[in-house]
Each structure stands twice: as C-alpha cells, then as structure tokens.
C-alpha cells in the first residue's frame, strides 16, 4: 500500500497557513464575543429590566387593565389610529416627492431634495412648535390673518406634525427604488403601445409594492414610538408613549411605566419583524446587473397635478422652518415682532451653553463608536458567521426596533444602581444623579445603541456588493481576519462608513425619547432643554435652540462629507435610512 507523503518543502508553508487560520478563527471568535457582550449590555439588560418590572404584581395589574378598562383601550386605539394615519399620509407624501424627483423634469430638484431631508437634521420640536405658532388658537395664520378659532392640539395636529417629520423615511426609500428600476421595462411597455399612465399603473407601481409596504410599516413604528410631539402638541389625545412618560415622571409609578412600555414594545417589534420578512422575501429584481439607459422624464401638462402637490409640501416645509429661524430673532413671534437677540443671549449663556457643549461632545464621542460597532457587526454577519448570523443581525437592530421611550425607561431601571454580585461590582451606575461622569455614560450608551443599526445596515448593503474573493486573497497571503478587515474591507466600504457616521451624529443630536428619562443636572442635553422651554411657553428660546442645533448638525455632516470626499476622491454615499430612522 502506498504511503501518503508530504513534500518537505511545502511543510513550513502549510504550517504557516494553519497557524494563520487558527489566529483568524480566534480573532473572529473574540470579536463575536466582544460584540455580543456589548449588545447585551446596551440593549439586553435594559429590556430584561423592563420585562421584570412589567410582570411584577403592580405591572401585571396595569397589563390586565389594558384589556378591561375603557380608558386604557382608548389609549391603545389612539396609538393605533395615529400610526395608521401617519403611515398612510407620510408614505403618500414621500412617494409623491420621490416620483417627482426621479421621473419628472423641472427646475429646483436639488433644492427639493434638501428640503425633503431637512426634517431629519432638525429636533423633534421644531415642526410642532412652528405649527402651534402658525395654526394654534392664537396662530399667526389662522387667528391673526384669517380670524379663525382653531384647535391644532390633538389628533389633527399630531397627524400633520408627524407626517411632515417622518415622510423623509418613505422619500429616501422610494427614491432609491425608483432610481434602481431598469428603464428597459418602461421602454418595452412603451414599445407595445402602452400609455404613460398604463406604464405607471402596470409596470412601475407593482414593482414598488414592497416599498409601499416597507415605508408604511416603518412610519407606523416611528409614529407609535414617538414621545416628543405627543408631549408638545398632543393635548388630551393620550398615546402609549406619553402615558408611559407620565407614569414614570408624574406618578412615579415605575411598574406601570414598564407595563405601558411592554405594550408599546410588542407591536413595534412585531411590525419590525414583518418588515424584515417582507423585505427579504418580497424583494423585487427587475433585471440582473445595473440598469442601462435612462428613464424618460415626464414633461408638459402631465406633470402639473403631482407638481402641485410637491410645491404645496415644499412650501409648507419652507414656511415651518422660516418660522423656526425667524422666531429666534424676535421677542415673541406673532405677538411682539421686534427684532431682538435676547433669545440667543439666553441660549448661549449659562445652562443653554452647557447643553450645547455637552450634547455636541457626547454625540461626537458616540458617533465613531456607533459607526465602527455597526460596521464590525455587519462584517461578522455577512463575511464570518454561518450559524447565528441572523440572530446577531437581529440583536444589532434591536436598538432601532425598540421604541425610544422603552429604551429610556429600561436604562433608568437598569443603570441607576451599580451591578454588584457578591462583594464585587461588575458595572458602576451609569444613569442617575450618583452615576459616574454625571450620567454622561448612559447618554453615550443610548446614542450608540440607537445609531448603530444605521451603520450596520449600510455596512451589510456595502459588503454584499464586494466579491468575497478579495477577502480570500488576503487570507491566502497570511493576513488575519482583523488585518483583512482593517486594510482591505474597511477602505472598500468607506462610503458606507461615512453614511453611518452622518446618520449617527444627526440622530444623536436630535433624539429625545430615550434621553429624557436619564438626563441629570450635571449633564445638560439640548433636546431636553428645548422641551423645558416649550413647556414654559418660551417659544423664542426654543426656536433659537432648534436653529443652533440644525446649524451644528449640518456643519458636522458637511465636514464629514468633505473629509470623505478629500480622502477618496469621490462623493460618499448618501445616508441610508433604516427602519425607525427617526
């Protein structure tokens, strides 16, 4: 029988490759463990605390009353109705603007695109406060100009404000889909004698069905999870998020707040799972490869009806944000329109200045952490894990799926006290007045877990477009997994990294729902200070805060894009908006 022999000249090389694979495997395992522990601490522990408190005796009593008490049933009904209205209206508005941007010929497309994205970089109170000033009981337009007595508080005001705040999610979703559809489909239909309307109804709309479903579900989740706007313009129209906030901060009933949070969490996560399933199972592929040719843009009178809608939406956005900017430069907008810098003197001095500095620093600290953590998670999911990749992907996205109100209450429960096992402290207190760094640690943690999913989705999309042969070539040369990621993969997905950084910073600067439960006197946050000014009726100060916040966000985003363009020589990818991008 012949013996299996190994050429001595190849033995050292074989041993080197074996050691390289062993180091790579150990590196991958260590990275998976580290990422899993971080996600567990950032979102797993708060959720565990929420469920533990919700299913205590007091919490179970509230859960039971949800199905027996007419008051609680009304709160649930209000939440669902608001979500359905905003989901439908926001999706329709987003589609109208995206279709005009992608398929119609008109001047000012770049301006329209910037206007459509403006709500993303503004705080949640900007639109609500401006709408109250313009259309409230003493509104400039409704009362002073038209002499009407209107009540913008409640369901009508919330529907308007939330639709305007969240439609950019649908807009970006539809814009990407419309630009990726193959023009050959329209050309083939036109060649068979189909009219533009027939092409639209029989070819374009069916291809966009997943986009409509996805956008509606995303806006529904964002709406029921929103806390800022129901507090400002909700009036007596109570929803689950505002009821949980009142239970925690007004009634000091932690168990009830946790119970309301669980009721809010269940539909949000369910819709998130349905959306993920829909996008994975019902993705539409028009033709393999990149689209060839260009779409014929609609010209002439056929574009007038849709352009009229687009102009009205754009004019309303301009009206709202002009109100925000002007409101900071007068004493009391609509009452005393005398030019004044008092609002900015107040904001830029004392507490206001502290809030600006603290918020910006914490956001700058959290942004790279969230972006890198999201990219590493995406790398593990797409490149390294065969088993458990779906679980890790889902765990990484929980920060987006879980409503901000639930995250905030969970952090207040989980990190107000140090974690002590026996006589050893595993984790110090990160939230509350006695926390390390004055509670700044918990705020950074919230920023990271809420912003990480955007970077993760951008990274997954970018990595799926890169041939695995590139990684294999690096590994065959003896590079470890982390070396390959750092020197090969990361430079290739740099546009996605910039996209993650951009969205992470904007989201960190403008978030409120999870932050409001863990702010401390030692650490001031701008969105929390804006809410205080609105509650006190000092709208001028709130407008000044909003304007400064928008300027800071846009400046940092501009610098990030300039830096990325200078280092790569090409324009970075546009920010992606995953589920719950707002």
Q: pLDDT tens digits for 421-432?
A: 777 777 777 887
Please give the pLDDT value at position 568: 52
- Structural contact between residues 233 and 153, judged by C-beta atoms closer than 8 angstroms: yes
- CA separation for the pair 216, 239 (Å, rounded): 19
Instruction: Evaluate the CA torsion angle 65, 70, 75, 76 in order and state its sign.
Output: positive
- CA separation for the pair 94, 171 (Å, rounded): 4
pLDDT in tens, 98-131: 999 888 888 888 899 999 989 988 887 889 999 9
What's the token pair of residue 351?
A: 């507490």
Please give the pLDDT value at position 296: 67
Task: Please indicate whether residue 494 or residue 366 has the higher confidence score (pLDDT).
Answer: 366
pTM: 0.83
Cα separations (Å) of 414 from 50, 130, 418, 430, 434?
8, 36, 9, 9, 14
- CA separation for the pair 192, 205 (Å, rounded): 18
**Which residues partner with 427 through β-bridges?**
419
pLDDT in tens, 9-44: 444 444 444 444 444 468 788 889 999 999 999 999
Structural domains of the chain sorted by starting position, each given as residue range(s) with its CATH number in brackets: 61-284 (1.10.3720.10)
Q: Is the pLDDT at 266 greater than 60, yes or no?
A: yes
Region of 96 on the Ramachandran plot (φ > 0 left; ψ -120 to 50 alpha; else beta): alpha
């Amino acid at each position: 029988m012949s013996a299996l022999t190994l050429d001595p000249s190849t033995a050292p090389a074989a041993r080197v490759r074996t050691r390289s694979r062993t180091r790579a495997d150990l590196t991958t395992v260590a990275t998976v463990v580290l990422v899993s522990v971080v996600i567990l601490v950032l979102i797993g522990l708060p959720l565990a605390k929420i469920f533990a408190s919700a299913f205590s005796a007091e919490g179970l009593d509230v859960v039971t009353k949800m199905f027996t008490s007419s008051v609680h049933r009304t709160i649930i009904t209000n939440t669902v109705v608001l979500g359905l209205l905003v989901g439908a209206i926001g999706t329709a508005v987003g589609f109208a603007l995206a279709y005009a941007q992608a398929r119609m010929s008109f001047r000012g497309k770049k301006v329209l695109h910037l206007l459509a994205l403006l709500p993303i970089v503004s705080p949640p109170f900007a639109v609500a406060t401006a709408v109250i000033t313009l259309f409230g009981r003493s509104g400039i337009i409704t009362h002073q100009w038209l002499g009407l007595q209107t009540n913008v508080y409640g369901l009508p005001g919330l529907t308007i404000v939330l639709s305007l705040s969240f439609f950019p999610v649908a807009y970006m979703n539809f814009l990407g889909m419309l630009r990726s559809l193959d023009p050959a489909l329209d050309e083939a239909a036109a060649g068979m004698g189909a009219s533009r309307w027939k092409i639209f109804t029989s070819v374009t709309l069916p291809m966009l069905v997943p986009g409509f479903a996805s956008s509606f579900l995303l806006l529904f989740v964002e709406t029921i999870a929103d806390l800022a706007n129901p507090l400002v313009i909700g009036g007596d129209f109570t929803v689950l998020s505002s009821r949980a906030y009142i239970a925690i901060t007004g009634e000091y009933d932690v168990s009830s707040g946790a119970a309301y949070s669980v009721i809010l969490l269940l539909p949000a996560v369910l819709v998130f799972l349905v959306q993920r399933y829909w996008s994975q199972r019902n993705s539409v592929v028009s033709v393999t490869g990149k689209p060839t040719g260009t779409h014929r843009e609609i010209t002439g009178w056929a574009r007038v009806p849709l352009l009229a809608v687009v102009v009205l939406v754009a004019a309303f956005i301009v009206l709202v944000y002009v109100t925000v900017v002007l409101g900071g430069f007068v004493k009391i907008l609509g009452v005393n329109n005398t030019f004044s810098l008092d609002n900015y003197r107040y904001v830029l001095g004392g507490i206001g200045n502290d809030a600006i500095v603290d918020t910006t620093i914490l956001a700058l600290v959290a942004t790279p952490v969230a972006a890198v953590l999201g990219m590493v998670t995406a790398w593990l999911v797409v490149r390294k894990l065969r088993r458990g990749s779906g679980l890790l992907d889902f765990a990484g996205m929980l920060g987006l799926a879980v409503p901000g109100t639930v995250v905030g209450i969970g952090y207040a429960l989980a990190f107000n006290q140090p974690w002590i096992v026996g006589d050893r402290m595993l984790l110090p207190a990160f939230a509350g007045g006695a926390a390390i760094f004055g509670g700044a640690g918990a705020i950074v943690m919230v920023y990271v877990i809420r912003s990480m999913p955007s970077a993760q989705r951008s990274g997954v999309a970018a990595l799926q477009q890169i041939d695995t042969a590139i990684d294999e070539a690096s590994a065959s040369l003896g590079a470890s997994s982390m070396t390959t990621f750092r020197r090969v993969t990361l430079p290739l997905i740099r546009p996605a990294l910039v996209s993650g950084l951009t969205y992470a910073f904007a989201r960190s600067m403008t978030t409120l729902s999870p932050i409001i439960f863990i702010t401390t006197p030692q650490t001031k946050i701008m969105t929390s200070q804006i809410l205080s000014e609105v509650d006190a009726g000092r709208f001028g100060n709130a407008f000044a805060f909003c304007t400064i916040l928008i300027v800071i966000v846009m400046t940092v985003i501009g610098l990030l894009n300039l830096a990325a363009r200078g280092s790569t020589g090409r324009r970075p990818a546009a920010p992606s908006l995953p589920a719950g991008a707002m």
